[in-house]
Amino acid sequence: MPGEFEPQQAVWLGLDSFNNTVTKDLVKALLPYVNIKFVSQSDSVLQKGKSYLSKNGIDTGKIQFYVMPDNQFYMRDHGATFIKNADGEIKAVDFSWSSYGYADRLMEKYNNDTIKVDSILTAYRYFKSKRGKVDSLMGIAEKVAIVPSWIKIEGGAIESNGRGTLLLNEPLTLSRNKGVSKDSIEKEFKRVLGIKNIIWLRDGLAEDPDGFATITGKYVGLGAGGHIDEYARFADTNTILLAWIDEADKDKNPVNKINYDRMHVNYEILQKARNENGAQFKIVKVPLPDLIGVKIRMSEPGNSSGFNVPVSIFKPSDGWKIGDSAIYVAASSYLNYYVTNGIVLLPTYVNEGSSPQKEEKVKEIFNEVFPGRKLVFIDAMPMNWEGGGIHCATQPEPK
């Protein structure tokens, strides 16, 4: 599995009715640097998407378009993970799809009541979709061999340095593959990704909980359960960027304190870790933006309008009652960036009230670790409110 910082042939994006403004900004920034391949779930959605892009001054003749049933916006997670050998031969890895472990969360929520859970899954179209086939369809579209794997994982949960070292979130990876040993998981990742060395990190950002969940106290959020692309990324083969909360910020709110503690644990792991050749890593701490949140109200089931959130979304043990107020936190992180040929796309948070000084520090860091690449900051807040980000929307195809 190549590092994302290596040369790319193309970037795959999802084309649907969500995040149109962000999609437009992504395409305008990327088009001069890399080929773009859009995947849509149907012909009708594809035509609407092409029309939207054209109306915003984008030459769709320079873009390739595909239709793959039930494709969704966040291509990173269900799209193919491309691998290549020393001769440049490309293959597409087809990981198993678990819909972000939703079935397991239902089992936990309803105390292993299989009848209740089965009835929900049967009624919920999400689990009848063909989204799990998109990765193999991408391989077919590219006329490359497909490498199937039994591992249940999303693309945002794996990070490679391109030389045989992989970063994983241990709690998330094991929760997606319940009952499977770490040893079996390591052997399978090594088989399908050419990995020699796995570094098991601990919990991810508090803003990235497992599904729609209570983070702590009055704070709630929507996430994937700790994707690695929110908090630990390879800038090159031996430099790791780690999300960070400074001492001065840790007590500003309970979410900061959780992240402060978690990232210190991960920092200790990375300090002791070695690469595939036994060498130490260079670890660069990247500030997290100031907490971005909005007040919401717990409502009756079926009422999710405006700032109302149905109380039924949460576990009964969380103790929420109709009428309670909470703070809904956006999944914001500068590490949910995308790097490709000659450019790095980063989220900006100053318009949301985050410190301009922090963002300037982030700019300095990225100029240092990605020398010679243009930095473009994009307002990706519509994605952050959905628990995603720029990196989640992109899937690279190596050159």
User: Is there a contact between 218 and 325 (Cβ–Cβ < 8 Å)?
Assistant: yes
pLDDT at residue number 19: 64
* Residue 55 in tokens: 């109306």
Q: How many domains does the chain have?
A: 1
pLDDT at residue number 129: 75
In a domain, 214, yes or no: yes
In a domain, 319, yes or no: no
pLDDT at residue number 221: 96
In a domain, 269, yes or no: yes
pLDDT at residue number 348: 98
In a domain, 297, yes or no: no
> How many CB atoms are closer than 10 A to CB 293?
20
> How many CB atoms are closer than 10 A to CB 121?
15
Q: Among 90, 72, 111, 69, which Cα is nearest to 6's?
A: 90
pLDDT at residue number 305: 65
156-202 per-position pLDDT tens digit: 999 999 999 999 999 999 999 999 999 999 999 999 999 999 999 99
pLDDT at residue number 301: 79
Query: Containing domain of residue 258, as a range?
Result: 8-292+330-398
In a domain, 308, yes or no: no
In a domain, 112, yes or no: yes
φ, ψ for residue 364, nearest 5 deg? -60, -45
pLDDT at residue number 124: 67
**Adjacent-strand bridge partners of 212:** 222
pLDDT at residue number 194: 96
Q: Among 223, 225, 139, 151, which Cα is nearest to 187's?
A: 151
Q: Domain of 338: which CATH number?
A: 3.75.10.10
Strand-pair category, 325-329 with 293-299: antiparallel
Strand-pair category, 343-347 with 338-340: antiparallel
> How many CB atoms are closer than 10 A to CB 39?
25
pLDDT at residue number 99: 87
- 173-205: burial string, b at 16+ Cβ within 10 Å, e else: bbbbbeeeeeeebbebbeebbbbebbbbbebbb
* Amino acid, single-letter form, for residue 60: T
pLDDT at residue number 48: 92
Q: What is the greatest pairwise CA distance in the chain?
A: 61
**CA 87 to CA 110: how far, in whole Å?**
51
The DSSP string of 211-251 is EEEEEETTEEEEEES--GGGTEEEEETTEEEEEE--GGGTT
pLDDT at residue number 127: 58
Residue ranges of the chain with pLDDT lower than 70?
Answer: 17-19, 123-128, 303-306
In a domain, 303, yes or no: no
pLDDT at residue number 102: 79
10, HSE (Cβ side, Cα atoms, 13 Å): 17
pLDDT at residue number 396: 98
In a domain, 166, yes or no: yes
pLDDT at residue number 20: 79
